Homo-oligomer: A and B are copies of this chain.
Amino acid sequence: MLAKNSRLAAHNRAWFAERSIVTINLMSSPGAGKTSLLERTIRDNGAGRQVAVVEGDQETVFDAERIRDAGARAVQINTGAGCHLDATMVRSGLDALDPDRGDLVFLENVGNLVCPALFDLGELRKVVVISVTEGDDKPLKYPHMFAAADLVVVNKTDLLPYVDFDVDRCERDARSINPGVGWLPVSTRTGENLDAWYAWLQEL
């Protein structure tokens, strides 16, 4: 199953490259703030180019509606009992999305810190969003996700005064698994440090 997925992911990757489309696989636990981060990025034109989104959820079209309200094209994939997007689902999502040349396409995965780590979608970068309300022990408890990531976005920093979350410990643990991983604390609510996220996007 994984080998078949990898072959189809390679097709996706070639399809993106031919069209100069940059693609990010966005992963997190449920409710860490992936969609909020995208809404804000779209409204601020933080990517500096047109954004389009493939949304993955077990059920509902809520997230695609939120993205469209923010001003970008979006298609919703419902995985039913499935726990992650795979390369085939992304391929069919792209047919419906029909992104333009040079777009930045986000593949917003099902909220799950486990299974999505194993499935290549053909993306250029993997970004994992964690929130400070989840606890600082997540990198060591879910190492596959953090080993696979290019960048960790630590969201909801506005809630740091109200929770026990040691940002330095969490960063140290994430880097013990993946020394080169990027690390970006932000608040999508207050906008804190989103400039650094936008700068990261614009360098892709």
Contacts and interface: CB of A to CB of B under 8 A. Distances in A.
B111 A60 contact: no
A114 interface: yes
Contacts of A159: 133, 159, 162-163
Interface residues of A, number: 34
A62 B112 contact: no
Given A115-B115, A118-B81, A141 B29 contact: no
B142 A156 contact: no
Contacts of A163: 159
A83 B29 contact: no
Given A58-B114, A112-B83, A30 B133 contact: no
B142 A58 contact: yes
B81 A111 contact: no
A191 interface: no
A-B pairs, top 9 by smallest CB distance, nearest first, are A31-B134, A133-B133, A83-B114, A31-B135, A29-B30, A29-B29, A30-B113, A60-B140, A57-B141
Interface of A: 29-31, 57-60, 62, 81-83, 110-115, 118, 131, 133-135, 137-138, 140-144, 156, 158-159, 162-163
